[in-house]
Amino acid sequence: MLSDVEAKELLSFLTLNTRPDVKGQATEYILGLSGNRDGCRYLQSKPDFLKALVTLTTDPSIAIVKDCYHSLINLSADETMHQPLVKDADFLPMLFKNLLDPEFMFADRICTILTNLSRHVKTCKEVFKAMQEQEIGLTQIVEIFCTEGYNKQVSLHYLGPLLSNLTQLPETRHFILDRERCVVQRLLPYVQYEASTIRRGGVIGTLRNCCFDHAHHEWLLSDTVDILPFLLLPLAGPEELSDEENEGLPVDLQYLPEDKKREEDPDIRKMLIETMILLTATKVGRQFLKAKNTYAIMREFHNWEKEPHVAAACEKFIQVLIGDEPEPGMENLLEVEIPEDMEVKLKDMDAKEQEQLEKEQEDLLNPDKPQQCAGIVRMM
């Protein structure tokens, strides 16, 4: 890395008044540092460099501004950089100000930085606090997200994952689940937004997080919101079902055409299943999903699904759909207290299951790799 003398010289080039060619070489060097772990660790101890990058996002040169935002994206992707960026660089107010500008050409990069910073609860709280201090409400974020072409120069798809990350916080979930605001109803159409996997996944992640608040399950499943068809339709395929099975489904899932396609992204498919699993944590949710013949769709989906981690989630869901009701007092699975020793065993089982899924995934990617024969003992 740089010596103290070299670092001081480089920092002197990272100013608005520096000659553009020299400044450009300096920002390119910082961009290179931000692209690897050692470089991030070095910059973590240099708050003056972080502040200089933030200052240069106002440079007249588009190339320099682009390099600075790319560097900030790289740095924000490293969890150890979150606090230095939020505290030392103090750039959240600037990010939100530019995000709201409908003509700001780097707003997509700002969305990406904010999404990176809000992945973990601690800095997510800092991001939310900065929004409040700038008097930027969730209403504005949702309005921008739902306004096609709000910014003519960029797509703002990454507002979806940002919103999803913010729903880690109860304040955000409370806002989205406010029955008078109709925010959920505005977000639901984006579950099938074909133009962007990022936007689609962000909305589904938002809905999944909101389903942890089980008090709202009955409302979400009611005709007022009618969330189930939005979650189930992307998992439905062209398979022909019997008339009896079709008539038991929600209207939007009955007699689907022969060219019906399923959601193409496996992570999104898994999130859709996880969201419905959360809805079955309550008795009202389980009864509703069973009554709407959800099993028929998931049965065909399971036969089709090739990704081990998605198939595993589907199997868990099907077990709930075809299983018996829990014992009295355990109807709400999100409120059941698990003994500490059992919780340890369950976590161990989950870890082993995940390890097995990763092995199966590796086997799929390397079909020519020799397979181990497990469970066979030869007696001599």
pLDDT of residue 323: 87
Q: What are the distances in angstroms from CA 75 to CA 34, 231, 347? A: 6, 35, 32
Name the token pair of 262: 């399923």
Q: 30: how many CB neighbours lie within 10 A of its CB? A: 28
Nearest partner of 131 among 177, 158, 160, 171, judged by Cα: 171
Q: State how far the Cα of 280 lies from the Cα of 283, in Å rounded to an integer.
A: 7
Q: Is the dihedral of CA 328, 333, 337, 343 positive or negative?
A: positive
pLDDT of residue 369: 39
Instruction: Label residue 55 exposed, middle or buried (CB < 10 Å: 0-12, 13-18, 19+).
Output: middle
Element (H, E) at 5: helix 4-13
Each residue's pLDDT expressed in tens, for the chain with a length of 380 residues: 789 999 999 999 999 999 999 999 999 999 999 999 999 999 999 999 999 999 999 999 999 999 999 999 999 999 999 999 998 777 899 999 999 999 999 999 999 999 999 999 999 999 999 999 989 999 999 999 999 999 999 999 999 999 999 999 999 999 999 999 999 999 999 999 999 999 999 999 999 999 999 999 999 999 999 999 999 999 999 999 999 999 999 999 999 999 999 999 999 999 999 999 999 999 999 999 999 999 999 999 999 999 999 999 999 999 999 988 765 555 565 554 545 664 455 456 555 655 665 555 555 445 443 333 333 333 33
Sequence letter at residue 280: T
Q: Which stretches of 51-154 are assigned E, i.e. beta strand? A: none
Sequence letter at residue 111: C
pLDDT of residue 88: 74
Nearest partner of 157 among 201, 121, 120, judged by Cα: 201
Name the token pair of 333: 């699975």
340-365 and 308-322 are packed helices; what angle lies between their axes, rounded to 10 degrees? 130
pLDDT of residue 103: 96
Instruction: Label residue 284 exposed, middle or buried (CB < 10 Å: 0-12, 13-18, 19+).
Output: middle
Q: Is the dihedral of CA 157, 131, 183, 232 positive or negative?
A: positive
Largest CA distance in the chain: 82
pLDDT of residue 337: 53
Q: Please say whether the beta carbons of 296 and 249 come within 8 A.
A: yes
